[in-house]
Chain A
């Protein structure tokens, strides 16, 4: 009887993990739609191609080496024990039962393969963050080449430092579901790319003026936001790793409530901030605000009360609006606001852990934040630079004017309409 319960708990936790992973996989669709909505029509096919291809690159690279790097590391270490190889392993029923008898609090309570599946979709999320920021002017194949290094090495190594039990974890750095490991990581890689890539033609005037380049499809952007919002329940909820007893079930439910509350608050504060600053209700800012709320709560969705979660998300929503404006003043052109949403608000999320989690220390959070940023930004800058001097990362001025749909993919998203401008 006891063993039946362990069987069922194992099955339930594995099932929960897999469903959460599938929800996170769905975030790839959210990013794809969001980005397709916020670029111009002439760049739609290319951004879609980038998104579907980067998902596939992430899955392949993480299987070949990323997972091994991230979860094969030494306790408290900096470098992984091995770089390649298959570390996906399911425990046998006997092993699970023996483990549960030996230590009921610490045994393999879900399938090893389900752990891989849950982790691989996180990599794809981090990589998706980059594609929006470099949209409308980057070469498709240069981007995918970067994706290979990012998902194979850059992301897994810093992931190992925290979630793989590496030195950041040992230092007491807390990042529940990845405001740092996933979102700041994606934002830092995006920032490095944008700095080397330059702004879209026509975005900034010689006199310092900023020209808007409105996105082509607001319905897609709004749909993308809601898809991401749904996926985030898997992202944060699944990161609890377990649901099969009363305490864990309560924790998971709290995480869902907090995640939702932070997103709603972020949307509202961004919408209101945009209304006060610009005089109109800017939908794209509201969308960024919801995502900012989600990023902000991701580092610690469990310990805050729902009211704290609301406040943490609300601050994220205001931050993102000012960050978008500030990046434009610095002439850092990010068509979808990815650097602001994931990078800037990711840092806020990591700091906000200290507000509600008694185990967090500001020094450990600052250490984790700076290490992740320095590593990902530095390594990404090097890779982008190598790509820039070898194959080039930017399309020609004429191709950019015509739209990268034609130059990179040879097809338009909406061929029955005139495509230029």
Chain B
């Protein structure tokens, strides 16, 4: 089992959700986050004076999948979230030690 954590541009969230649903992903968790990467922040002008926005708003999507689905899920996210411009985000993949469905007590692949 893998935990796929994708930090994406907020306006791409709907596309990513749809792409993941299309390949059979059953659920995901979304968090609104702020941060910076190579895009850094950016400056805006207010009444002719600059102000710096250090942390840009992003959306963090967390999806738990069985090992077999990991590559296709990553591919779905990349295809859906890519604009080709700086600031598209990153995907982190980590191994999941155990998954438990609270309602039934199922564990492992059955619980994902």
B residues near A325, Cβ cutoff 8 Å: 48
Tell me what chain B mostly uses at the interface: helix, strand, loop, or mixed.
strand
A337 touches B49 (CB 8 A): no
B residues near A211, Cβ cutoff 8 Å: 49-51
0 or 1 for each of A214-246: is its CB under 8 Å from B? (1 = yes)? 100000000000000000000000000000000
B residues near A358, Cβ cutoff 8 Å: none
Which of A209, A213, A278 is within 8 Å of B45, CB to CB? A278
A325→B47 CA distance, assembly (Å): 8
B49 touches A284 (CB 8 A): no
Q: Is A263 an interface residue (CB 8 A)?
A: no
Q: List 12 A-B contacts (CB under 8 A).
A: A211-B50, A212-B51, A213-B46, A214-B51, A278-B45, A279-B45, A282-B45, A282-B46, A282-B48, A284-B47, A321-B48, A328-B47
Q: Is A367 an interface residue (CB 8 A)?
A: no
- Given contacts A212-B49, A282-B46, 15 further A-B pairs with CB under 8 A are A210-B48, A210-B49, A211-B50, A212-B47, A212-B50, A213-B51, A214-B46, A274-B48, A280-B44, A282-B47, A284-B47, A285-B48, A321-B48, A325-B48, A328-B48
Nearest 9 CB-CB pairs, A to B?
Answer: A212-B46, A212-B49, A212-B51, A210-B49, A278-B45, A325-B48, A214-B46, A284-B47, A324-B47
Known: A211-B51, A212-B51, A214-B51. A284 touches B45 (CB 8 A): no
Range of interface residues on B (Cβ < 8 Å): under 10
A residues near B45, Cβ cutoff 8 Å: 212, 278-280, 282
A284 touches B46 (CB 8 A): yes
0 or 1 for each of B34-76: is its CB under 8 Å from A? (1 = yes)? 0000000000111111110000000000000000000000000
Tell me the nearest residue of chain B to A277, going by C-beta. Answer: B48
A368→B97 CA distance, assembly (Å): 83
